Amino acid sequence: MPQVAGSSRHEGEVTSNKPDNTAFKQQRLPAWQPFLSAGYVLPTFFILGVIFIGIGLGLYFTSNSIIEIELDYTGNQPNSSCFQCTNSTVKNCKCSVTFKVDTVLVGPVYMYYELSNFYQNQRKYGVSRDDDQLNGDLKYLKNPSEYCKPFRRDGEGRPIAPCGAIANSMFNDSFIVYKLNNTGSHTKIPLNAKGISWWTDYNVKFNNPKVDNGSDLKKAFEGTGKPINWPRPAYELDTNPENNGFINEDFLVWMRTAALPTFRKLYRRIDGGLEPGNYSVEISYNYPVISFNGQKRITFSTISWMGGRNPFLGIAYLVCGSACIVASVVMLIVYIKYQGQREFIED
């Protein structure tokens, strides 16, 4: 009798844990399972291949329609105009490169600087920053993160703002573009520096520190030192007071680190475009790259609805589309071959 009672109690426990008698919990919901026959699979692969190839051709030809003008100004060749500027003893060196525009470049034309053999993705370099400090937190402005070492404090013991290796290595070449006239004179091309950074960086991620009066940026940075390689402190990066400190747009562009050792970063925007003719770029050569076998370039580029020039996406679609069509043809041949053998056996 005790065993029977125990058995009844055990059955009661199992019954209490039984799922509800519903279609969902008892897995009685209607279901559909595709039947992968040749009549469905072969047309699907072929149609997908045609669609992918169509998209790939559109992307590829759109990318090729973008015009780019690339100018190397590294100065590592004796016959280059910037060769004399590679000497580290030369201060405020200026050089120039010329280029020709053969067709109208409809604005906006984007002007980039490009660096090669520069590894912003190096682990210790990538974490050498203080995001709390860059967000304007006064506590971390005067007490930066340990990750910023050895660019955490200057020689006088003052906290560096902004701290870290990324900020310390900020690109500081500058450029002025002129159009050369037939009379021998030149016309300066206006370069727009507004809106070259990401909206989230400018409005959310980076903020200037604020003091009680909320307006004197120099006072907010009082007691801090500039990065070692910077000629000026953060609050004097630009003559425009709205483009200074941690929200300076050139600084924001540089702080968004690149994933590959060769990368471009947006420098300016030429809203009016470029007319056909001869042009010159006057360069203030400050950023050394010869020591790590790097290269420096300036690139002028138009854009399309898909952005800048990048043929990879179009090629990827073409490859996938071609693979789908080839697979459909192979499967069709196999299907016809074995279908014929099957009918022969059945006969």
Closest CA to 209 of 186, 233, 240, 229: 233
DSSP labels for 210-252? --SSS--HHHHTTT-B--TT-SS-GGGS-SSGGG-GGG-HHHH
If asked whether residues 212 and 333 sit together in one domain, one would say no
What mean pLDDT is predicted for residues 14-38? 82
Q: Is cis: bond before 162, omega within 30 of 0? A: yes
- Which amino acid appears at position 169 of this protein? S
Query: How far apart are alpha carbons 268 and 274 in whole angstroms?
Result: 14
157: how many CB neighbours lie within 10 A of its CB?
7
**CA dist., res. 248 & res. 164, Å (int):** 17
Tell whether 337 and 230 lie within a shared domain.
no
Number of domains in the chain: 2
* Residue 181 DSSP class: P
In a domain, 28, yes or no: no
Same domain, 255 and 328: no
Structure confidence at residue 124 (pLDDT): 95
Residue 52 sits in the same domain as residue 114? no
What is the reported pTM? 0.80
Nearest to 94, CA basis, from 332, 343, 285: 285
Residue 214 lies in a domain: yes
Could you tell me the pLDDT band of residue 1, with boundaries at 50, 70 and 90?
very low
The confidence score (pLDDT) of residue 11 equals: 52
Q: Within this chain, do residues 87 and 147 fall inside the same structural domain, yes or no?
A: yes
Query: Which range among 30-44, 171-185, 281-295 shows the weakest confidence by mean pLDDT?
Result: 30-44
106 and 135 share a domain? yes
* 184 and 212 fall within a common domain: yes
In a domain, 21, yes or no: no
In a domain, 267, yes or no: yes
Question: What is the C-alpha to C-alpha distance for residues 226 and 154, in angstroms, rounded to an integer?
Answer: 8
Asked whether residue 260 carries a pLDDT value surpassing 70, the answer given is yes
Residue 10 lies in a domain: no
Q: Are residues 97 and 197 in the same domain?
A: yes
Quote the pLDDT of residue 345.
Answer: 56
Q: Domain check: are 244 and 277 in the same one?
A: yes
Handedness of CA 226, 228, 232, 234 (dihedral sign): negative
Q: Which residues pair with 93 in a beta bridge?
A: 285
Indicate if the pLDDT at residue 88 is higher than 50: yes
User: For residue range 182-198, what is the model confidence (pLDDT) as tens digits?
Assistant: 888 899 999 999 999 99
Mean pLDDT of 46-74: 94
Residue 54: give the domain boundaries: 37-66+308-347
10 Å Cβ neighbour count for 94? 14
What's residue 87's pLDDT?
A: 78
Please state, in angstroms and rounded to a whole number, the distance separating the CA atoms of residues 124 and 145: 13
- 184 inside domain: yes
| Residue 27 included in any domain | no
Same domain (yes/no): 240, 207: yes
Residue 252 has pLDDT above 50, yes or no: yes
Q: Is 46 a residue whose pLDDT tops 90?
A: yes
Is 150 part of a structural domain of the chain? yes
How far, in Å, CA of 162 to CA of 252, rounded? 12
**Together in a domain, 177 and 100:** yes
| For range 96-123, the mean pLDDT | 94
The C-alpha atoms of residue 65 and residue 107 are separated, in whole angstroms, by 15
The pLDDT value given to residue 23: 87
pLDDT at residue 309, rounded to an integer: 86
57 and 138 together in one domain: no
Section 274-302 average pLDDT? 94
Rounded to an integer, the average pLDDT of 162-174 is 95
Mean model confidence pLDDT for the chain: 89
- Residue of 130, 245, 135 lying closest to 201 (CA atoms): 135
Instruction: Kindly tell me if the per-residue pLDDT of 315 is higher than 50.
Output: yes
Rounded to an integer, what distance in angstroms lies between the CA atom of residue 267 and that of residue 252? 11
pLDDT over 80 (residue 342):
no
